[in-house]
Structure 1
Amino acid sequence: MGTIQHGNGDEIHIDDRALAHLKVVIATKLRRNESFTLSWQHPEGDPVGRSTIWLHPAIPLRFTFDESEAPQLNTNWIQELMQSASSTSGISLVDEVLDTPEV
């Protein structure tokens, strides 16, 4: 379970694989000087609910991963996260988009 440290040091716990994909999207948006929100459902073990944070290039962020090796990235998932990041509701952390063979 990785973490994003946001602003004053608040830690957001996110699965390493999801965090690797989020990092690409967040870094891309912030590099373009674009602000947006990030929303997620609280993980199991935390109080039930969801949270949203505001991301802006001036707010410090730190990504910390438990795994030492970076996973292979899924471009479909990154594209879906990028589309949501550009929407008025911001990024919603959704389950991974998997390629499914057509029948």
Structure 2
Amino acid sequence: MGTLVHGYGSTAYEIDDSTLSHIKVMVSLKLDRGHSFFLSWERPSEQGSGRVSLWISASTPLQFRFKKSRRPEISRRWIEYMMANSYGPRGLIVVDEESADMTHPLPPGLL
């Protein structure tokens, strides 16, 4: 499990390395375009259940800490799915790769 550290208070969230790697790519793509957004995910029952939503902007410190030194392979289709679904008021909703409906390709020019 890796860790996403958000904000000045250094609140830390445990996320598996592969998902965290994809979140890192998504955050960099969104911030590179000047987009602030919500980043949300469901907490597993072993972490108390519920949901987490963070406001992500260029002025908020973020750290991505990975447990493993080996970089996981990035799935372009998973990134495309999350990117296509990130432009609404709910922001970027993190889903695992198996749950992503990858039948709806990203419009040209968004990735």
**Superimposed CA distance per residue, residues 18-73 of structure 1 (whole angstroms, 9 cap, x where no aligned partner):** 11111001011112221000111113421121111110110000000011011111
Does the 8 Å contact 1:22/1:81 carry over to 2? no
Find out whether 1:3 has 2:3 as its counterpart: yes
Instruction: List structure 1 runs of 4+ shifted beyond 4 angstroms.
Output: none
Find out whether 1:20 has 2:21 as its counterpart: yes
How far apart in 2 are the matches of 1:51 and 1:24?
Answer: 19
Q: Percent identity?
A: 37
Unaligned runs of 5+ in 2: 103-111
How far apart in 1 are the matches of 2:15 and 2:85?
Answer: 18
TM-score (norm 2): 0.82
Unaligned runs of 5+ in 1: none
Does the 8 Å contact 2:4/2:64 carry over to 1? yes
Indicate the RMSD between aligned Cα atoms, in angstroms: 1.8
1:93 — aligned with what?
94
Task: Tell me the matched-pair count.
Answer: 100
Find out whether 1:52 has 2:53 as its counterpart: yes
